Amino acid sequence: MSTADPAQAVAAGGEPTEHPGSPPAAAVRMSGIVKRFPGVVANDGVDFAAALGEVHALLGENGAGKSTLSNILTGLYRPDEGRIELDGRAVHFDSPRDALAAGIGMVHQHFRLVPTFTVAENVALADPHGIGRRQVRHLRQELAAMGAHYGLAVDPDARVWQLSVGEQQRVELLKALHRGARVLILDEPTAVLTPQEADALFVTLRAMVAEGRTVVFISHKLHEVKAVSDRVTVLRHGRTVGTVDTASCTTTDLARLMVGRDVVFRRAERAHPVDPAAAPLMRVRGVSAVNHRGQPAVRQAGFELRPGEILGVAGVAGNGQRELAEAITGMRRPTAGSIEVGGSPVRLGSVRAAHAAGIAHVPEDRLHTGLAPSLSIASNVVLTAYRRPPASRGPFLDRGYIRRHATELMSRFDVRAPGPDTPVRLLSGGNVQKVLLGREFASDPKVLVAASPTRGLDVGAIETVRRLLVQAADEGRGVLLISEDLEEILALSDRVLVLYEGRIVGDVPAADATAERLGLLMGGGAVSRDVG
Ligand SMILES: Nc1ncnc2c1ncn2[C@@H]1O[C@H](COP(=O)(O)OP(=O)(O)OP(=O)(O)O)[C@@H](O)[C@H]1O
Ligand SMILES: [Mg+2]
């Protein structure tokens, strides 16, 4: 596209913008795709075309219809209307198997691997022709070669349960490549990765498109879309807004295309400064904890959280953040230490005791630890409160109250779903998070432990969640914000702790917290003099 203004490209109609010279042959073209679910039109006439040899990003707010479109392309859903062409020929997929046979592969956000099998065995299992024991040896060599070629190094003999999340994703990519995928769809692949792993993934994706494959990349992170994609198609409310050349857009342009208005992230304004003389809301002393493999993960962590304070906890994934959050919220029993809220000791290792002490938790793994996916929104918002009034009267649940309460939370937190009876598993990722936040805020906590609270959310939803966190602090609550996203930590925190190998290696007031300083501490490069 020659024009620098993406808005013009959009005004010119939903067609892909033209490259100088002849446009590349479209490997995939989806036209007029309609997919209805009860109460929702998830795709409402979507046009999408991805060319050979490009990384094509799919961008849109939570619930815009991205996952639905990719599920149609991979044969998981059948569209109600519309047409799919592959290399110019119309195709119909009745199952993911059909799509795979045509060369369309998908890397889901939740991996589909057998944990007790080795990497090679998992790849063999996925082979459409089946692979015998003797051929596995050959496969191991092939995997090693593919790993070297695409930057997907992983030990073919390692068992999947031993692998990090980033390595498991590499196995999923190897599986797809081994099956001969020409078009690869990745739905929010970086949500589970560290920034370093994400960079490595981008190198792999570029290597794949350099060979003429097509990559469809779904992400909410605009700087990633800028870094890795050639073109971007934006969806809004189930419709195509337009397709633009990545190089012609800034991240601000992309944000505006996505939500239809300007989005600006500033340092949050606070109603009250934190009173350094106020008695701490929460005291954590000498807390140590082990990870799920029994290795030390948190070492002698101690800090105080004051009323109205947002305390950021920064660190590269795997440096003890998760275990620290779990220790504080009662999900993991510390091996040493104590925690007090409002001056009273909290019984450790009990979720119920932590909750009763006023500690609310927005966990990292929302669908598995935070919510019951098969239950309705209404049931989920009372999951932690159904035993007492007003959700129940005597032994009976007050269903009328529960529905009203859920409906109110849905409007306050902008949960987009047909109604309070919709099962949570049918919601888009961002809406799942809003349900969880709504429930935790409604419990009137003293301390809110929020782990990566905006991960997977679109820019509009991120604004909402950040505003809510600031509001919680302004109401005098303490917020412990655990995140790998430095920009988020810097935008919200009054003070920042840095975890490195399970130890607090920095305690930096907001005024001194810069990305450089925190980054250095996160890498173990320096120990702040603030910490003895
Ligand atoms: N199987 C389903 N049954 C009913 N409704 C569904 C189903 N799958 C998706 N939806 C609804 O369709 C709409 C589009 O959802 P989709 O998951 O495609 O959004 P998305 O763009 O991937 O969002 P996110 O960024 O939050 O992942 C949402 O309103 C969602 O609740
Ligand atoms: Mg999605």
Q: Whose CA is nearest to atom 16 of ligand 1?
A: 65
In a domain, 58, yes or no: yes
Best mutation site among 68, 425, 432 for ligand 1, i.e. most ligand atoms within 8 A of its Cβ? 68
From 221, 237, 264, the end of a domain falls on 264
Best mutation site among 426, 454, 462 for ligand 1, i.e. most ligand atoms within 8 A of its Cβ? 426
> pLDDT digit string (tens) for 448-504?
999 988 887 888 778 888 888 998 999 999 999 998 778 889 889 999 999 988 999
Cα of 429 vs centre of ligand 2, distance in Å, is 6
> Which of 312-316, 343-347, 425-429 is the most confident on average?
343-347
Specify the amino acid at residue 88. G
Q: Whose CA is nearest to atom 10 of ligand 1?
A: 426
Q: Within this chain, do residues 306 and 343 fall inside the same structural domain, yes or no?
A: yes
In a domain, 403, yes or no: no
pLDDT for 365: 66
Q: Within this chain, do residues 188 and 99 fall inside the same structural domain, yes or no?
A: yes
* Residue 251, number of CB atoms within 10 A of its CB: 15
Contact 179, 123 (CB under 8 A): no
Over residues 223-240, the mean pLDDT reads 93
Q: Within this chain, do residues 224 and 352 fall inside the same structural domain, yes or no?
A: no
| Residues, the chain | 532
In a domain, 170, yes or no: yes
d(CA 387, CA 391): 7
Over residues 327-354, the mean pLDDT reads 95
Q: Within this chain, do residues 332 and 188 fall inside the same structural domain, yes or no?
A: no
Over residues 160-188, the mean pLDDT reads 90
Over residues 413-419, the mean pLDDT reads 87
Over residues 35-41, the mean pLDDT reads 90
Q: Within this chain, do residues 93 and 192 fall inside the same structural domain, yes or no?
A: yes
> pLDDT digit string (tens) for 93-149?
999 889 999 999 998 777 788 888 999 989 988 777 777 766 778 888 889 999 989
CATH of the domain at 28: 3.40.50.300
- The DSSP bridge partners found for residue 242 are 234
CA-CA-CA-CA torsion sign (83, 27, 255, 204): positive
Q: Within this chain, do residues 96 and 210 fall inside the same structural domain, yes or no?
A: yes
Q: Which domain holds residue 164?
A: 113-181
Specify the amino acid at residue 199. D
Report residue 488 as tokens.
Answer: 């988020």
Q: Whose CA is nearest to atom 6 of ligand 1?
A: 426
Q: Which ligand lies nearest to the CA atom of residue 422 in the structure?
A: 1
From 240, 264, 288, the end of a domain falls on 264
Cα of 69 vs centre of ligand 2, distance in Å, is 9
In a domain, 196, yes or no: yes
- pLDDT higher than 70, residue 9: no
From 230, 264, 298, the end of a domain falls on 264
Q: Which ligand lies nearest to the CA atom of residue 424 in the structure?
A: 1
Q: Which atom of ligand 1 is nearest to the CA of 188?
A: 27
Q: How does DSSP assign 5-66, residue by residue? A: -HHHHHHT-SSPPPPSSSPPPEEEEEEEEEEEETTEEEEEEEEEEEETT-EEEEEE-TTSSH
Number of domains in the chain: 3
Cα of 75 vs centre of ligand 1, distance in Å, is 16
Best mutation site among 33, 36, 40 for ligand 1, i.e. most ligand atoms within 8 A of its Cβ? 40
The values of phi and psi at residue 424, to 5°, are: -60, -30
Q: Which ligand lies nearest to the CA atom of residue 423 in the structure?
A: 1
Q: Within this chain, do residues 4 and 99 fall inside the same structural domain, yes or no?
A: yes
pLDDT for 532: 36
In a domain, 328, yes or no: yes
Q: Within this chain, do residues 42 and 99 fall inside the same structural domain, yes or no?
A: yes
Provide the Cα torsion 212, 218, 224, 229; round to 10°. 30
* Residue 458, number of CB atoms within 10 A of its CB: 25
Q: Whose CA is nearest to atom 1 of ligand 1?
A: 426
pLDDT for 3: 37
pLDDT for 217: 97
- Non-local CB neighbours of 512 within 8 Å, separated by 6+ positions: none
d(CA 57, CA 143): 27
In a domain, 371, yes or no: no
Q: Within this chain, do residues 150 and 248 fall inside the same structural domain, yes or no?
A: no
d(CA 286, CA 338): 7
Q: Which residues line ligand 1 (CB under 6 A)?
A: 37, 40, 42, 60, 62-68, 416-417, 426-430
Q: Within this chain, do residues 125 and 200 fall inside the same structural domain, yes or no?
A: no
N- to C-terminal Cα distance for the chain? 56
Cα of 378 vs centre of ligand 1, distance in Å, is 18
In a domain, 243, yes or no: yes
Q: Within this chain, do residues 1 and 141 fall inside the same structural domain, yes or no?
A: no
Q: Whose CA is nearest to atom 29 of ligand 1?
A: 63
pLDDT for 412: 86
Q: Within this chain, do residues 122 and 86 fall inside the same structural domain, yes or no?
A: no
In a domain, 287, yes or no: yes
